[in-house]
Amino acid sequence: MYLTVKETAEYLSMPESYIESMIVQNKIRTVYDGEQYLIFKEQFNTHLEQIEKYKKQLADYYSEPIPEDIDVKDED
């Protein structure tokens, strides 16, 4: 399925100007149909999966309790 720049921006929750700059930098693969750029939606699946995985890892890290320090004893 192909999306326009506007639809891609909505799908990725990013501004259209950012998507356009990524196209100019060749970081997003596109097809130009003579009027507009079309972007293949499936190319973002891996990226979105990695973001979800990172969010889960971060949530797990923050929910982990702080270990007790074994060197808490006062030496005085």
Asked if residue 15 lies in contact with residue 9, where contact means CB atoms within 8 angstroms, the answer is: yes
Measure the CA–CA gap between 56 and 67, rounded to whole angstroms: 21
Q: At 6, which amino acid appears?
A: K
pLDDT at position 45? 85
38-59 per-position pLDDT tens digit: 999 888 888 888 889 999 999 9
The count of other CB atoms within 10 Å of the CB of residue 12 is 19
Q: Are 7 and 16 in contact (CB under 8 A)?
A: no
Tens-digit pLDDT string for the chain (76 aa)? 899 999 999 988 889 999 999 999 998 889 999 999 999 988 888 888 888 999 999 999 999 888 777 666 666 5
Q: DSSP string spanning 18-46?
A: HHHHHHHTT-S-EEE-SSSEEEEGGGGHH
